[in-house]
Amino acid sequence: MYILRLIGKVFFGPLDDQWAYLSDPPKYQQATSAILVLALIGIGIWPFPLIRLIDVGVTDLLRAMGGM
């Protein structure tokens, strides 16, 4: 319960005066961040294409080292 109160105060509480001069980031920065977040979520939900891509290089490396 206390963690929920902490999160509420940190993210939804009143803005401190020392940060009043800050504004929202421009649209291009928001779009870039959104693309990166969606890519991370996509890789987290469906990691197999990335795993296959990495597996090819790791397999070759293991063969070169005599591990396979």
7 burial type by CB count under 10 A (0-12 exposed, 13-18 middle, 19+ buried): exposed
11 in a domain, yes or no?
no
Residue 67 has pLDDT above 80, yes or no: no
Q: Would the pTM of this model clear 0.85, i.e. be above it? A: no
Residue 30 has pLDDT above 90, yes or no: yes
User: Residues 30-40: what's their mean pLDDT?
Assistant: 98
21 in a domain, yes or no?
no
10 in a domain, yes or no?
no
Q: What total of structural domains would you count in the chain?
A: 1
3 in a domain, yes or no?
no
- Rounded distance between C-alpha atoms, residue 56 and residue 63, angstroms: 11
Range of the domain at 33: 26-68
* Per-chain mean pLDDT for the chain: 91
32 in a domain, yes or no?
yes
43 in a domain, yes or no?
yes
54 in a domain, yes or no?
yes
Question: 3-class DSSP state for residue 13?
Answer: coil
Predicted local distance difference test score (pLDDT) of residue 33: 97
15 or 35: which leads in pLDDT: 35
Query: What contacts 24, CB < 8 A, 6 or more positions away?
Result: 30
52 in a domain, yes or no?
yes
Q: At 1, is the pLDDT very low, low, confident or very high (cuts 50, 70, 90)?
A: confident
